[in-house]
Amino acid sequence: MDAETTLDDAYFDYCPWDFADRASAGQRAAQDAHQRRLAESGARLGPRCYVSPAAGVFTGTLRLGADSYVAGHAYVTGEVTAGDDCTVNPYATVRGRITLGDGVRIGAHSSLLGFNHGFAPDRPVHRQPLTSKGITVGDDVWIGSHVVVLDGVTIGDHCVVGAGAVVTKDLAPWTVAAGNPARPLRDRRAQGGPRRARAVSGDLPGGLSADLSGGLSGDPSGDLGGAVARFADRARAQAADLVARCWNPDTGRYADRPGAPATVRAHCDAVEIADLLLGSPPEQLAADEHAERLRALQDPRSGLVPEFAPDGGPGVLPAPAADGWIDDGTAEYHVLAVGYALDLLGSRLTQPVHVVRSMTVRQLLARLESLPWRTRTWSAGAWVDCWATGAHRNLELGVEDGEPGALEALFGWLTTRVDPWTGMWGTAESPAAGRLQLVNGYYRLTRGSYAQFGLDVPYAERVVDTVLAHGHDQRWFAAGRENACNVLDVAHPLWLAARRSGHGAAEVRAWAEEQLTRALGRWRDGAGFGFGPAGEGGGGPGREPGLQGTEMWLAIVWLLADLVGVADRLGYRPRGVHRPEPARSPGFATPG
């Protein structure tokens, strides 16, 4: 029997890799004719390609590099571009805007879905608009059978995705991932090592050496708890030096990092870091000297704490609004930062926060109604955080509000304005930013109100759903795109809601474990953590390590570690702005 009669045409639908070596002359001619028909529709196929006539190929754009094939019963639509040596195996689906590098293997029954459509309640699903961010797959990637890759995902070079995985987030180069949702297991370059390799966060930043990364890959004893313990030991050993590098002995003040201007927050961050890791004040001053310098910054008229003037002298606050409030975001945050730094130093503010004390219930409710809940929910939440924290500080000093019942009025207003479908306040969602404003505003609002006063948040299960949906948004949480603000503003609400509900516990833990592993890899020896890339509209001190990034990420690491169940390995627990416990007991009484 000659070669032309050895194999049926259907054989190559299911075993296309044999076509180049085993097809008959007639079969080759039929394939050439099929490819010419595809070319008439705009396809561009490289040499030695094979596209099964049994495949459903209905593309606007199809580009296949040399030695690539599409097997029988594959379904290929949209704009598909592939490099050399790419394979789409039987019953695979490749739809939408898809870009494949060289040497990509797509297993049987897998789906790359480079499109999506909405499911808003205003219209039936079949009438929802389609969107397409596209899927990008790098070089030398193996996608196993029955894998689903969702729109917007990028899979880096040299990745392996295990059978049955659902890939919802970007995968860094060399990642071996599996599960639903897919989670990094190890680095492909460390075959046989335990879970969680360098691939989780890409190349680890400079300064992270083998004794920490060994806890994530290559160390037989390396579980996540061990890595957390090693990180804490490392941070503790370096804490005094990283605080000292930000102290200017000439001015007697702290800056976020060397070369940056001195700020009030930098002094507070230095106090928080030293308390967390060393259990003592920063060694540049005695505890009472730290406390006196911070107390002296409080404006006696308003009770707020302004930022230093550009020349380093005392800051000046803007004129008050009609309700007596002084709109200055930095001074508002200092109510938190300075107040909690003084707690850690065994002291407290000298003056009440007068702008809170003097506000009537009517003025408070009018201010709450006027906050930008629909456009800048973060700003609205930050205002609530400041006002409620000012009320807490006034109670601490034994000072009553100007009008009885103001604090109760705040919680009454919040309780009646929360959205039961999301558990959030405000509606600030947009195609460009998604739920960023909504969730970040929720963190600031609940930090100063429900969390600080020890009250349960309403609709805890809906909070978990909303926050997790945001936490999977790759615009803000893909590897390398996270900043301290955005991760904190997911981690804290998840931790807070978990006190009331075990809803979504497995997904919460998976998210926390992934973010914790990435966070450990951000530590820079001798310098600490960088805040990270700016969020929507800028903000934050940037990627360079400094006091703010270090203080925030240390608290984030604790929250994530507690969600995972390994916080006890850290040997520290935040006691300042990001403390997990309430600052006072429910009922608004001063704690005994």
What does the H/E/C string look like for 328-355? CHHHHHHHHHHHHHHHHCCCCCCCCCHH
How many Å apart are CA 1 and CA 573, to the nearest integer? 78
Q: Determine which one of 34, 117, 354, 492 is catalytic.
A: 117
How many Å apart are CA 196 and CA 187, to the nearest integer? 7
Q: How many CA atoms lie within 13 A of 60 on its CB side?
A: 6
75 pairs with which residues across the strands?
Answer: 56, 93
How many Å apart are CA 446 and CA 493, to the nearest integer? 8
DSSP per residue, 466-499 = HHHHHHT-HHHHSTTT--HHHHHHHHHHHHHHHT
104 pairs with which residues across the strands?
Answer: 141
In sequence order, what are the residues at sequence separation of 6 or more whose Cβ sits closer than 8 angstroms to the Cβ of residue 499? 456, 460
How many Å apart are CA 11 and CA 293, to the nearest integer? 82
**Going along 344-419, which residue ranges are E strands?**
none
Would you give the DSSP letter of residue 401?
A: P
The continuous run of DSSP H or E covering 535 comes out as: none
How many Å apart are CA 129 and CA 119, to the nearest integer? 9
Tell me whether residue 117 is one of the annotated catalytic residues.
yes
Residue that is written with structure tokens 């201010």 in the block: 367
Pairing of strands 130-131, 116-117: antiparallel
Cβ atoms of 262 and 308 within 8 Å: the answer is: yes
How many Å apart are CA 463 and CA 424, to the nearest integer? 7
H helix runs in 457-580, sequence order: 460-471, 474-477, 484-498, 505-520, 547-564
Would you give the DSSP letter of residue 289?
A: H
How many Å apart are CA 428 and CA 421, to the nearest integer? 14
Q: Which two tokens stand for residue 416?
A: 């009646």
How many Å apart are CA 89 and CA 108, to the nearest integer? 5
Where in the sequence numbering do the catalytic residues fall?
117
